[in-house]
Structure formats: structure tokens, C-alpha cells
Structure 1
Amino acid sequence: MKDKPKRIRVSGDGLKAGAASRRASSPPEVEVDEVESFYAQELLRSQLRLGLGVLGAFIAVIAAMSLALAALPALNEETLMGYPLAWLIQAFGFYPVICVFAIIYVRAASSNEKRYFALLGDQ
């Protein structure tokens, strides 16, 4: 049998003082005004409201499109390039809806941020 290698205990005592002090340093303190804090919280709430509103509207539109496709069985009988029309609508019709909602969200979110920075600039 081979002899087992001797276990070596490793500790952090061998660290260089410079490396330890660099890691332990904290970023400089920045004073945050109560007004800025309030505006930042309002911006977060506004963005959350916007996100939830867009999500709810998106789900409603997608559900309406799905129900419309289910309610119109004639779309399954019509074919285009060998595929039922309902399949093509589901495959390619939802992407423009996704893009429209994404554009709406981005424009509204940037508008919220512009108002936020305009309020901070007025101080």
C-alpha cells in the first residue's frame, strides 16, 4: 500500500496585507437626500405599475386572440401553403403583438425616467 499524503491545513494567514485591505474597503459614502430617495421610490413604483399594466394588457390581448382562433373553426379548414391558417396565425401573428407591447413599454418607461430626472434637475 502507498502511504497516504500528509494533510496540510490551509489558512488565510498568508495573505498579503495589501490584498486584504483592498478587499475590505468600502465605496465612498454618498449622501442621499430625502427628496431624491422619495423620487427614486416613486420612479420604482411607477415602473412597477407600468410593467404590471403592460403585462395585464398583453395577457388580455393574447387570450382574446387565442379565444378568437378557437371560436373560428373555419380557420383550420383554410390552408395557405399547405398549412392551416389558424396555425400560421398562431406561429407568426403573435410576434407583432409582442413587438408592439415592447415598444409601448420602452417608450413609457423612458418617459417615466425623463420625468424623474427633470424633477431632480429642478431642485
Structure 2
Amino acid sequence: MDTQRKPPSLVDLCINLAIENVRYIGSVSGLDSNLLERILPHCNITQLTRIENCSKGTDLSPVTDKLWKRFYEMEYGVDNANRVIERMQQKKVQFKWKQLFEIIYLSKFCLDIW
């Protein structure tokens, strides 16, 4: 039995460091999507929003859309998310999950202050 472990690659070390310090990450413009797919799932809503806002001119939705869907499901339930998917298919429209999350969040916020 081989008891020696392979040391982590420099890329893996950098990714782990980025994950540990995700609260400090700003713009990720120009970063490879494969790296983002390993780092961004460790963000909370505030961190992901900040990273997207700081990364102006870069469409992160191919990586972040599934993360926003997960936030949506956690906040509003999987059944609600499935109804949204069904309605989008019926109406033949497509929205990004971040948009859907923000619309419902803001509408709840507005109702609370009225």
C-alpha cells in the first residue's frame, strides 16, 4: 500500500487560498471559468453579488446562474423554483436566476416597508 500522498498542485493551493479569502475577492474579470466554478460556490449571497458587481463587463452568469438558482431554492423552496421553471417553459421565456431572486426579494422588501 502506498502511504505517500501526492502534494497539491499550485493551482489547487491557489484555489484553496481564494476560497479561504473569498470575502476579499472583488473583480474576477479575465479569470478562467473552470477556476470560478471551483471558487464561487463558496460565496454567500453578499459575496457573490459584490464579485459580480466588481466584475463589470464580464458575464459571469454561465458560472453563477446555478448558484443563484441554489440561493433561490434555499430562500423560496425547491417547489417554488420548479413552478418558476414550469411557467418559464409555458411562456417560452428565460430569466436568469439572479433576476428572479432579486425581483422576489425586492418585492418582499417593498411590501415590508409599506
Same fold (TM over 0.5): no
Greater RCO, 1 or 2 (C-alpha within 8 Å, sep 6+): 1
Q: From the CA coordinates, give the structure whose radius of gyration is larger.
A: 1
TM-score, normalization by structure 1: 0.21
